[in-house]
């Protein structure tokens, strides 16, 4: 018998992301799903903007299926990350600044060329 109750806020680990939701591991026995409709009140273009695989987040239990050992979860209207920023929604991507770094040399060369053209 578990001690989960609807309304509990629990810590979970993200194990998968699909177009329709975020899969999580609750503990060694239970799994869970945060359906896309339970992520945010606004339109969600990319669920990966809200969580990433391997991340530990908090979720609200909104349904329990004891037979399947599965929880229906929600992160709507709550600070679901360990981050202290209450307004945080979009995470920095896993690649971070790498795309900018990769483009930097090209931008510098273009800027130098444009300055040469302006001075001619």
Looking at residue 98, its pLDDT comes to 64
Give the CATH number of the domain where residue 88 resides: 2.40.50.140
For residue 43, is it within any domain?
Answer: yes
User: CA torsion angle for 105, 109, 114, 117 (degrees, to 10)?
Assistant: 170
Mean pLDDT of the 43-72 span: 92
For residue 15, is it within any domain?
Answer: yes
For residue 76, is it within any domain?
Answer: yes
C-alpha distances (whole Å) from 74 to each of 4, 7, 79, 114, 120 are: 14, 10, 11, 51, 61
Looking at residue 96, its pLDDT comes to 56
Residue 88 belongs to domain spanning: 9-92
Residue that has been written with the tokens 């709550």 in this structure? 78
For residue 98, is it within any domain?
Answer: no
Tens-place pLDDT, residues 62-112: 999 999 999 999 999 887 876 544 444 444 444 456 667 778 888 888 889
**Helix, strand, coil % (nearest 5) of the chain?**
25, 30, 50
Predicted TM-score (pTM) of this structure? 0.67
Average pLDDT, the chain: 84
The number of folded domains in the chain is 1
For residue 105, is it within any domain?
Answer: no
| Residue with the larger pLDDT of the pair 33 and 44 | 33
For residue 99, is it within any domain?
Answer: no
């Amino acid at each position: 018998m578990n001690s989960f109750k609807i309304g509990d806020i629990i810590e979970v680990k993200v194990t998968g992301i699909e177009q329709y939701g975020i899969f999580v591991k609750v503990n060694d026995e239970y799994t869970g799903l945060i359906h896309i409709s339970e992520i945010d009140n606004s339109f969600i273009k990319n669920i990966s903007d809200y969580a990433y695989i391997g991340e530990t987040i908090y979720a609200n239990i909104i349904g329990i299926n004891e037979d399947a050992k599965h929880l229906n979860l929600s992160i709507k209207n709550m600070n679901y990350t360990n981050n202290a920023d209450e307004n945080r929604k979009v995470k920095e991507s896993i690649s971070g600044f790498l795309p900018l770094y990769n483009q930097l040399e090209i931008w510098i060369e273009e800027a130098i060329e444009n300055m040469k053209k302006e001075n001619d």
